[in-house]
């Protein structure tokens, strides 16, 4: 008996042993037929199978022909059942074309899997680079936050310093106010002293240079056009050669005579000329005069008297 016949015999035998007596009775006759006609049954069963495996399309199962061949050995009912089972089993076999197609699908899936794994590796590397970059950004953020904290502390120190400077400025302003009051008082005293000295020196210089009779000279306030005018040195003088002419001494006293002082004094002389009856004698007294200012005094025709009594 061939190997195919043995396989065919064992399966019904085991079914008959394990299953109900009815199943054994049904299969008992095929078992005897298989033993006696194994070559025929093997040809019927395995020829189509081998042809399917080799891809030979000529070995096609014809159920009617198979039913006829089986009917030679088995009873009609058994031949019908066997032909049906063999026919269904054959139709469910996977043919060579199907295997080739399956192999192609598997190959495509393997290549796709390789591409997927390669892509996953690339994504993993990109993820690592991203994580590394995130770590760098986190470190940069920490440095930035640290720098911001340092700047905040520096700002606090600056604000504290500004507050200290503001307090010092207030103290300085207060000290300047006190100093201004003191300087103002000292200036008034010095100005008064300087004008007193100027009155004496001018008196002597005019009397010596022109032989005039000089009245007392002093600081004076004159009311002109409803406004008070302060004159540093003011008084009258008399010229014996011109007894009918009244001379008015109008003096400007400065420690350091400047061009601006001269401009203001010129306006004062102009107002005095319009308000006083007589001849105006402008006199400037100063300890120090720049050459340009001295030339201006001479050009406008004013007298210039220095602290030592010398007159230009």
Token look-up 């009244």 returns 246
Residue 174 domain-assigned (yes or no): no
Q: Give dist(CA 15, CA 26) in Å, integer.
A: 10
Question: Between residues 263 and 187, which one has the greater pLDDT?
Answer: 263
The answer to whether the CB of 248 falls within 8 A of the CB of 279 is: yes
Residue 136 domain-assigned (yes or no): no
What CATH number is attached to the domain comprising 223? 3.40.1350.10
Q: How many CB atoms lie within 10 A of CB 13?
A: 15
Residue 230 domain-assigned (yes or no): yes
Boundary (domain end) residue, out of 76, 93, 110: 93
Burial class (CB in 10 A: 0-12, 13-18, 19+), 299: exposed
pLDDT in the model for residue 109: 80
pLDDT in the model for residue 11: 43
Question: Between residues 300 and 101, which one has the greater pLDDT?
Answer: 300
The answer to whether the CB of 30 falls within 8 A of the CB of 78 is: yes
Residue 271 domain-assigned (yes or no): yes
Percent helix, strand and coil across the chain, each to the nearest 5: 70, 15, 15
pLDDT in the model for residue 206: 94
Q: For 217-248, how does the pLDDT look when each residue is reduced to its tens digit (9 = 90+)?
A: 999 999 887 888 999 999 999 999 999 999 99
For residues 265-282, average pLDDT? 94
The answer to whether the CB of 77 falls within 8 A of the CB of 70 is: no
Helices then strands, counting H and E runs in the chain, come out as 8, 6
State residue 60 phi and psi, 5-degree precision: -105, 145
For residues 143-161, average pLDDT? 90
Q: Give dist(CA 130, CA 208) in Å, integer.
A: 105
Q: For 25-74, how does the pLDDT look when each residue is reduced to its tens digit (9 = 90+)?
A: 444 444 444 444 444 445 555 555 444 444 444 445 578 888 888 888 88
Boundary (domain end) residue, out of 93, 108, 129: 93
Residue 185 domain-assigned (yes or no): no
Q: How confident is the model at residue 269 (pLDDT cuts 50, 70, 90)?
A: very high
Could you list the residue range(s) of the whole structural domain that residue 70 is in?
3-93
pLDDT in the model for residue 178: 65
Give percent of the chain with pLDDT exceeding 70.
71
Residue 155 domain-assigned (yes or no): no
pLDDT in the model for residue 27: 43
Residue 284 domain-assigned (yes or no): yes
Encoding tokens for residue 260?
């601006």
Handedness of CA 90, 91, 97, 102 (dihedral sign): negative
Boundary (domain end) residue, out of 59, 93, 127: 93
Domain count, the chain: 2
Residue 130 domain-assigned (yes or no): no
């Amino acid at each position: 008996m061939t190997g195919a016949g043995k396989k065919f015999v064992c399966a019904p035998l085991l079914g008959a042993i394990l299953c109900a007596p009815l199943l054994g009775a049904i299969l008992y006759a095929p078992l005897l037929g298989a033993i006696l006609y194994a070559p025929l049954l093997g040809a019927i069963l395995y020829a189509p199978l081998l042809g399917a495996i080799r891809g030979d399309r000529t070995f096609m199962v014809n159920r009617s022909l198979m039913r006829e061949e089986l009917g030679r050995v088995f009873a009609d009912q058994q031949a019908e059942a066997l032909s049906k089972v063999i026919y269904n089993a054959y139709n469910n076999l996977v043919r060579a074309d199907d295997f080739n197609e399956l192999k192609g699908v598997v190959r495509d899936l393997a290549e796709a899997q390789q591409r997927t794994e390669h892509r996953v590796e690339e994504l993993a590397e990109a993820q690592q680079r991203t994580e590394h970059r995130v770590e760098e950004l986190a470190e940069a953020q920490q440095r930035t936050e640290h720098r911001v904290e340092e700047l905040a502390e520096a700002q606090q120190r600056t604000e504290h310093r500004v507050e200290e400077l503001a307090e010092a400025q207030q103290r300085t302003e207060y000290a300047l106010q006190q100093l201004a009051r003191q300087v103002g008082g000292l200036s008034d005293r010095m100005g008064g002293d300087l004008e007193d000295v100027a009155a004496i020196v001018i008196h002597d210089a005019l009397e010596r240079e022109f032989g005039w009779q000089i009245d007392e000279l002093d600081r004076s306030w004159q009311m002109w056009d409803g406004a008070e005018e302060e004159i540093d040195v003011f008084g009258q003088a008399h010229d014996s050669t011109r007894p009918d002419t009244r001379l008015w001494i109008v003096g400007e006293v400065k420690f350091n005579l400047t061009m601006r002082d001269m401009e203001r004094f010129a306006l004062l002389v102009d107002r005095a000329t319009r308000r006083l009856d007589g001849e105006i004698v402008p006199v400037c007294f100063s300890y120090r005069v720049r050459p340009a200012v001295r030339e201006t005094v001479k050009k406008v025709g004013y007298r210039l008297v220095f602290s030592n009594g010398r007159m230009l």
